[in-house]
Amino acid sequence: MTQEEIDLVAEAVCKHLEVHKNSFWVEPEKHYNHHREIEQLLSDYKEVKGLFWKAFFGFAIVGTFAAALLGFSILNLSKFLPK
């Protein structure tokens, strides 16, 4: 493509965008509401992420204690089993 052809295409695109620019616009209020929805989504994500890690570590701690108790009970029960 020559430079003249590139300039013609660029000029045509610019004219088309100038004529139809309103079709690309987003209403300001709608745009603002989208930002509010994204902000709420990120807030919910952070909350769920925090709850996930709290539950994960809680279950890990409870599972560790349960395994320890089970181990101790098995060791202590062996005293009462016949040999």
Domains in the chain: boundaries:
32-83
The alpha carbon of 82 is separated from its chain's Cα centroid by a whole number of angstroms, namely 57
The model's pTM is 0.52
Average pLDDT over residues 19-23: 73
Query: What is the structure's pLDDT at 80?
Result: 64
pLDDT band at 1; cut points 50, 70, 90: confident
Tokens read off for 65:
């204690």
The residues, any chain, with a CB within 8 Å of residue 26's CB and separated by 6 or more, are 34
pLDDT digits (tens, 9 = 90+) for 56-80: 999 999 999 999 888 888 777 667 6
Average pLDDT over residues 3-28: 84
Query: What is the structure's pLDDT at 51?
Result: 97
> Looking up tokens 């709290």, which residue turns up?
54
Tokens read off for 34:
């989208």
